[in-house]
Structure 1
Amino acid sequence: MTNHHSIIGKPTKQLQPVVSIYIDLQNAKSIKHLGSLLLEFAKFQGSLIDAKVYYNSLCADQVSAKDQLQSLRFKCIDVPCPLKNSADNQLMVDCLDDIYSNRPPDTVILVSGDGDFVNLVRNLKDRGKKVIGFAEPGSLKQKLKEIVGSDFHFLDELPSLVAPKTPQQIENVQCHITCNEAIEYMIAAIKTASKKDKRTLFSCIDSVMRNLFPKYQGVTSVCQHQGKTFSRFSELVDAAVKDGKIRCQDQQLFVIEADRLSA
């Protein structure tokens, strides 16, 4: 039987990226001690609208972990099937259904180290979604870590990821850059990814920009006019396209200057 306990509380600002959590409990049992920290981390990423835990009630250890997470108002979804990967399959189906819903998440937090989720992560990124991965060190498949990329973390990193920031760190995060600066960062990131023969998908370029330019802390650090910031990476892309410096095709980004040189 499926238990649904809403995690949605007070209305949140619509300008924030929408975030959803999906937990494969069989593969990440230690999350039962870290559930509150994961929720706190998710809220740092934007507006948390959903947090789902997939478990098998035929397994006593999973039921115990589920009870702890349910007390934190996670949605606990029981998949009581003896067949291997049944819970994984249900998680993937639900995640893709959510992507095509009326309010799809911009950011997906996947808690599992199972290699079965490689294609799911690839599909999410192909659709311009940001994927953040968490796993236990002993249950992580390298292919999953590679496809998630720099947004992968081990679960035991959660305490440090949500630790209170120093005044200097807060000042750095709040430091805004101009739209023109962000577009120049984007151009450099596209060129860097292209030289390494990597796909220039929205999520990949956003990640490269974060790695190359510490001042860039995501689109919410980019000023538009009168102090307003972008709420989605696609909005920054639209600005770059309108400026005539970037071309967008099939969710991939190209530098127009480079197009002309190769013509």
Structure 2
Amino acid sequence: MKSILGSSQTKINKQKPLVSIYWDSQNVYLTEEEAKSLVAFAKLKGRLISQKIYYNSGCKSQVPTKVALKSIGFIFVDVPCPLKNSADNQLIAHCIKDMNSKNAPDVAIIVSGDGDFEDLVLNLKKLSKKAIVIAQRGNVKQSLKIAADEFKFVDELPNLVSNKAGLQKDDKLPYITYNDAVNCFIEAIKTAIQEGKSTTYSIIANLMCQSQRFPNYKGVSTIHKPDGTKFSSFKKFVAAVVKQGKIKLQNEEMLLV
């Protein structure tokens, strides 16, 4: 009995997306409680496998409370180089290295509002990795915010965690952001092609609902558009993705561009 449960648990863990945190403390300051909310938020996204803080020990204001943060699993990466963006470059190098490792994360949480990370986010998306950006209000580059698959402000974390990252009460369906829905959609098309299936509306919609990477998608009614409104039908969602130039329709089938 014990071995059966152990095998089942291993299978469940493998299905969870792997998550890593990359925190630029030169750009974002978090209190101990905010850091705990960050970790809790990351765990809602999957299995947290790495959480690193990048700082310059030469700048005392950049050194967070090590004892408290080490107790919740953070690894400190000191980049004492006086050159500009040295810590940013180290964070980017580590993230890219992680993505090419055997235990590569599926989700990268970048804690910074610095526009220097925009290219990193875009490259993560090309690798089919999910890029989540968390920044402080008044200190975020708009282009970085737009590039991210998901964006949150630091002060939103406590409520997101207490509400289970958007899960509604009374067993209502959870929501999924528009960008996540698009990524889920493209993933479903790729899966259909790999499995030799057609890419019609019904097949793609069904594959999206089966996605392990985007478990919050439970139908078009769960998609939240950037302006807060929802799509009235799956076909209208598809039309929006076509308009973006991400796919094209041909004889009622969806093709990647």
TM-score category by the smaller chain? 0.5 to 0.7
What's the counterpart of residue 17 of structure 2? Answer: 17
- How far off is 1:256 after superposition? 4.9
What's the counterpart of residue 157 of structure 1? Answer: 156
Matches within 5 A, 1:161-200: 161-164=160-163, 169=169, 171-173=171-173
TM-score, normalisation: structure 2? 0.67
Task: Please give the secondary structure, in 1, of the residue aligned with 2:88.
Answer: helix
Tell me which of 198, 205, 220 is aligned to 1:244: 198
Matches within 5 A, 1:122-161: 122-149=122-149, 151-161=150-160
- How far off is 1:173 after superposition? 4.2
| Runs of 5+ consecutive residues of structure 2 not aligned to the other structure | 1-8, 205-245
Deviates more, 1:75-84 or 1:87-96: 75-84
1:31–1:155 CA contact under 8 A, matched in 2: no
Distance 1:97 1:14, change over 3 A: same
Distance 1:168 1:204 in 2: 18
- How far off is 1:245 after superposition? 1.0
Task: Please give the secondary structure, in 1, of the residue aligned with 2:117.
Answer: helix
Distance 1:238 1:30, change over 3 A: same
- How far off is 1:260 after superposition? 9.4
Matches within 5 A, 1:4-83: 13-30=13-30, 32-83=32-83
What's the counterpart of residue 86 of structure 1? Answer: 86
Task: Please give the secondary structure, in 1, of the residue aligned with 2:63.
Answer: helix
What's the counterpart of residue 241 of structure 2? Answer: none
Task: Please give the secondary structure, in 1, of the residue aligned with 2:134.
Answer: strand
Residues paired across the two proteins, number? 198
2:199–2:254 CA contact under 8 A, matched in 1: no
- How far off is 1:205 after superposition? 6.1
1:56–1:62 CA contact under 8 A, matched in 2: yes
Distance 1:135 1:104 in 2: 24
What's the counterpart of residue 99 of structure 2? Answer: 99
- How far off is 1:17 after superposition? 0.7
Tell me which of 241, 251, 257 is aligned to 2:251: 257
- The CA RMSD over aligned residues, in Å, is 3.3
Distance 1:46 1:22 in 2: 15
1:69-126 Cα offsets, whole Å, 9 max, x none, are 2232201111011111100000000000000000111111110000000100010011
TM-score, normalisation: structure 1? 0.65
Task: Please give the secondary structure, in 2, of the residue aligned with 1:243.
Answer: coil
Distance 1:84 1:115 in 2: 14
Task: Please give the secondary structure, in 2, of the residue aligned with 1:88.
Answer: helix
Q: Which amino acid aligns with 2:106?
A: D
Tell me which of 157, 181, 199 is aligned to 1:207: 181
Sequence identity (%): 41
1:55–1:66 CA contact under 8 A, matched in 2: no
1:113–1:144 CA contact under 8 A, matched in 2: yes
Distance 1:205 1:111, change over 3 A: closer
Q: Which amino acid aligns with 1:139?
A: N
Distance 1:66 1:118, change over 3 A: farther
